[in-house]
């Protein structure tokens, strides 16, 4: 199935709905395909490599309008400078850890941390820190995220947890999280292209996914304007819960 040919059956309808809804989620919470779409597509077709090749273009490109839309809040993302530098160092080290530690173990630990954060946050007990503290601990958290990204490919939940705790404004959060994803997603896109696995059929499917995601984002932008901060934060936590479920499944499957 790596040639990119997608069987035409009921799964296509489910896949289209999942991709569109992932676009809506991107427009509302800043998190889209990797959290809300990829797990469903892998469950439908069972080929992670094909799914990544088909969705990585839309994932990377969808970060751009988010950054542009919330560009006025770029100053709030200054806390990420040390975070990103140490994160890149962590990725290099993390790829070596992967040789010695099972991904299932790392996924299980990460899932436990995320689930605990969701439970605490849902009832209004979310731990918070000032921008000064967030900037100081950013390099350490960035290093941890890099280690997890390099070894388990799943730093998103920790990145989100860190940003939610940093007391950023809604727009500042959306700019910051997409700034991180922009670096990670385009790095992944370039890395996958270097494997020379993308066929004409995959490019065609990738363009369809891109259109669906942007259509969903349009709806997401409209919805996001109409919800208050409490609902927005709950929506972010729901997306984190989806990520946690994916991590648990990965841990159980080994």
Where do the structural domains in the chain lie, given as residue ranges? 10-253
What is the structure's pLDDT at 98? Answer: 56
Residue (of 234, 236, 239) closest to 123 by Cα position:
234
* Cα–Cα distance, 56 to 34 (Å, whole number): 9
- pLDDT for 2: 47
Under a CB-based contact definition with an 8 Å cutoff, are residues 141 and 158 in contact? yes
**pTM of the predicted structure, to 2 decimals:** 0.75
* HSE toward the beta carbon, residue 157, CA cutoff 13 A: 31
The whole-number pLDDT of residue 1 equals 45
Residues in Cβ contact with 175 at an 8 Å cutoff, skipping those fewer than 6 apart: 66, 67, 70, 71, 73, 74, 76, 77
pLDDT of residue 253: 66
Residuewise pLDDT in 10s, the chain (254 residues) = 445 555 667 888 888 998 998 899 899 888 888 777 877 787 777 776 788 889 889 989 999 999 999 999 998 888 888 988 898 888 778 766 655 666 566 667 667 766 776 776 676 666 678 888 888 999 998 888 877 766 655 677 778 888 888 888 889 999 998 998 888 788 778 877 877 878 888 899 999 999 999 999 999 999 888 888 778 877 877 777 777 777 677 667 65
Do 213 and 19 form a contact (C-beta atoms < 8 A)? yes
- Reference 127, options 116, 138, 141, 143; nearest CA is 116
């Amino acid at each position: 199935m790596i040639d990119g040919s997608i069987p035409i059956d009921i799964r296509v309808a489910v896949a289209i709905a999942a991709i569109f809804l992932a676009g809506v989620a991107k427009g509302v919470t800043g998190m889209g395909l990797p959290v809300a779409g990829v797990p469903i597509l892998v469950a439908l077709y069972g080929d992670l490599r094909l799914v990544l090749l088909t969705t990585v273009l839309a994932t990377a490109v969808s970060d751009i309008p988010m950054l542009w839309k919330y560009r006025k809040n770029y100053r709030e993302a200054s806390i990420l400078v040390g975070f990103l530098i140490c994160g890149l160092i962590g990725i290099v080290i993390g790829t070596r850890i992967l040789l010695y530690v099972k991904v299932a173990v790392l996924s299980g630990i990460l899932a436990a941390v995320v689930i605990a954060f969701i439970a605490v946050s849902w009832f209004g007990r979310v731990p918070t820190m000032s921008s000064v503290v967030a900037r100081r601990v950013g390099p350490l958290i960035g290093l941890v995220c890099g280690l997890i990204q390099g070894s388990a490919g799943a730093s998103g939940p920790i990145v989100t947890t860190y940003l939610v705790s940093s007391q950023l404004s809604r727009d500042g959060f959306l700019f910051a999280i997409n700034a991180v994803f922009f670096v990670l997603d385009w790095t992944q896109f370039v890395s996958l292209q270097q494997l020379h696995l993308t066929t004409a059929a995959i490019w065609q499917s990738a363009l369809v996914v891109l259109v669906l995601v942007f259509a969903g984002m349009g709806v997401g932008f409209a919805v996001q304007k109409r919800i208050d901060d409490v609902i927005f934060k709950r929506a972010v936590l729901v997306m984190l819960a989806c990520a946690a479920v994916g991590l648990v499944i990965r841990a159980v499957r080994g």
